[in-house]
Amino acid sequence: MAQDNQAPIRIALLGAGTVGSQTARLIVEQREDLSQRIGRDIELVGVACLDPDEVTVPWIDRSLLTTDTAGLCTRADIVIELIGGLEPARTFVLRAIESGACVVTANKALLAKHGPEIYRAAEKRGVDIYFEAAVGGAIPIVRPLRESLVGDSVTSMLGIVNGTTNYILDEMTTKGLDFDVALKDAQDKGYAEADPTGDIEGHDAANKAAIMATLGFHTPVSIDDVTVEGITAITADDIAAATAEHKVVKLLAVVENGEEGVSARVYPALIDENHPLASVHGSFNAVFVHAEAADDLMFYGRGAGGAPTASAVVGDVVTEARHIAQGCVGPSIPLYRSLRKAPLDSSTAVFAVRFLIHDKPGVLAAIAQEFADHGISINGVNQDLKPTLHDPGYSGEIQQLRLVTHRCDEVTLRETVTAVCALDCVAGTPSILRVLD
């Protein structure tokens, strides 16, 4: 089907790191197959990088390497942006669009912050923008949201979308490690970056939540709309308490289009060990989608890594190349709704709260009374000895009290916990975790 009488479609690659070099490999090694699938030949015309001497993979011809990123953007039909971060990535993407190139990007931070600007620019210029790799790595989730579920009403999405935190929580669970030790271990093994802030504070997952909400609900949702809680406060005691109750701790991205409006949240939550998400380990990601007609769907696969991410990138390249071969552009991102954002204080959940308490009569009664006074109903209580803990100024034993509430609003819950902590009989800092219903 490849038509030899037409010039090849020119592909430019910005960035030659892990994902970039794997993307180049697929394009170079599978060029003949890809051309057959497109119906026209393709050609890698340039690879922009900061230092050509650092690019040593054998499948990238050295003559393709350039440091003139802006120039490369203007001499390609498809520009693949794998630089990451906000700037200069945003400038290069807009320049590529302006010069009439279609864009493929895996840049979740860019899309979560400047997505609507970029989507509008692409629509106005009549070029494609595809970004399957920005959420869930190799997992097809963006395209199903843009196309497969476009005839349905998506009401909520829930997923594990950050492999680094998932790996750390796994290690804490299986080896009983504290957070700092598990993080160090993940860094040593290359599963966490030297500066792990973006992952462990939940910002990476929040970027993906913003993109998922924008696509699923057809309304602009920015990273600034996402409430974020990372995993840095999770302790070995939290994990042990979860295990004792046949639960696991997972960092979730949760987006909902409910009566209160659209919400996008990232938080660690307790999940029943039989829930399908509980068995998503290591760098694997999984996303649940609920839609009015389709009901429940789940997508699972590798959420990171050079080759898996490159698979998603090259799938997008082929899609855009097919459009170019046919002389048309794919669907724009129709953000035709301006849905209200749910008020931050409208968040409700089932909460698991863990207090350290003095072991003496009346303590449980006093705490239970605070919950009752705040109108929060308790669904389960568990108390056991924590003999290794000490409270300055108290000579008795310290016990651990675990409470699970019925669904309640978060503001009231936090007020209640503050009130409980003001009691003399409560020691240390309480732990508060959501429980997935």
Under the binding rule (CB under 8 A), the answer on residue 370 touching its own copies is no
Minimum Å gap between C-beta 13 and its own copies is 13
Considering only 180, 259, 295, 437, the residue that binds its own copies (CB under 8 A) is 295
Annotated ligand binding at 186? The verdict is no
Distance between CA atoms of 435 and 294, rounded to whole angstroms? 25
Taking 3-state DSSP, the helix, strand and coil percentages for the chain, each rounded to the nearest 5, stand at 40, 25, 35
The CA dihedral of 49, 75, 82, 286, to the nearest 10 degrees, is -160
Distance between CA atoms of 217 and 436, rounded to whole angstroms? 22
Under the binding rule (CB under 8 A), the answer on residue 314 touching its own copies is yes
Q: What is the sign of the dihedral through the CA atoms of 326, 310, 17 and 39? A: negative
Considering only 85, 100, 258, 331, the residue that binds its own copies (CB under 8 A) is 331
CB 136, CB 308: distance < 8 Å: no
Considering only 110, 315, 400, 402, the residue that binds its own copies (CB under 8 A) is 315
Site for its own copies in 210-239 (CB under 8 A): 218
Annotated ligand binding at 108? The verdict is yes
* Catalytic residue (one of 124, 184, 208, 360): 208
208 belongs to the catalytic site: yes
Annotated ligand binding at 16? The verdict is yes
What mask of x and - would describe binding to its own copies in positions 20 to 49, judged by CB under 8 A?
A: --x---x---x--xx-xx-x----------
Distance between CA atoms of 177 and 237, rounded to whole angstroms? 10
Distance between CA atoms of 414 and 50, rounded to whole angstroms? 48
Give the residue with the Cβ less far from its own copies, 252 or 291. 291
What mask of x and - would describe binding to its own copies in positions 106 to 145, judged by CB under 8 A?
A: --------------------------x-----xxx--xx-
Distance between CA atoms of 391 and 358, rounded to whole angstroms? 9
The DSSP bridge partners found for residue 427 are 356
The CA dihedral of 12, 10, 77, 133, to the nearest 10 degrees, is -50
Residue type for 54, please? E
Q: Give the catalytic positions in this structure.
A: 208
List the binding residues for NADPH. Answer: 108
What residue ranges bind its own copies (CB under 8 A)? 1, 22, 26, 30, 33-34, 36-37, 39, 132, 138-140, 143-144, 147-153, 218, 276, 279, 291-302, 305, 307-308, 310-319, 322-323, 326-332, 334, 336
